[in-house]
Amino acid sequence: MKDYLIIDGYNIINAWPKLKDIATDSYDEARRELIEMMAEYQSFKGINIIIVFDAHMVKGNIGKRDKIKGIKIVFTKEGETADSYIEKVIPQLSKRNYVTVVTNDWAEQQMILGAGATRMTTRELIIDYNNAKNRISQKTDDLSREKNMLSNQIDPEILEKLERLRRMQ
């Protein structure tokens, strides 16, 4: 059984202050930043992430699936919203997996719960993402301190001799 996190991409971009600010200049850049952030999050949490972007208003669009940094990226086809794609994929995934959907859309949240998945708001994702980033930083700092200790850089035999000398005094 795997854990999946399905993200309504534009819903999150428009609700996450950092991403919303980037999107005022470029939605492409906001999408890239969201993917970068979620790649880090995915690595730390050990989950599978699917980000769904609406492309239903693009005439003749046949949809697009991609995998970037281990994250499945979906651009919906013409006439298919991110919500409808998510509604379609939840029953398939939730049969054998634990599925959480991130959205602030109340109607979507109700459907998600009815389809056997759990829901997470953008605010909850932001908090969990920031906590994960802090834990990563803490682990990195701890490892860095360990590597910088003199005792970790000296040959064990020399360290033992120094310890014997210290005890003799």
Residues shown for the chain: 169
pLDDT at residue number 78? 85
State if pTM tops 0.85.
no
pLDDT per position as a tens digit, 34-60: 999 999 999 999 999 999 998 755 666
- Position 23 scores a pLDDT of 95
pLDDT of residue 147: 60
Q: Which domain holds residue 58?
A: 3-168
CA distance 66 to 82: 15
Residue 37, domain CATH:
3.40.50
CB atoms within 10 A of CB 49: 21
Biggest CA pair distance of the chain: 84
Amino acid at 118: T
- Report DSSP letters for 44-65, one per residue: HHT-EEEEEE--TTSTT---EE
Give residue 144's pLDDT: 60
Residue 151's pLDDT is 61
102 Cβ neighbours under 8 A, 6+ residues apart? 5, 6, 7, 8, 11, 12, 119, 120, 121, 122, 124, 125
- In three-state secondary structure terms, 117 is coil
Q: How many domains is the chain partitioned into structurally? A: 1
pLDDT of the chain along its 169 residues, tens only? 899 999 999 999 999 999 999 999 999 999 999 999 999 999 999 999 999 998 755 666 667 888 999 999 999 988 888 888 999 999 989 889 999 999 887 777 778 877 788 999 999 999 999 999 988 777 766 666 666 566 666 777 877 877 777 787 6
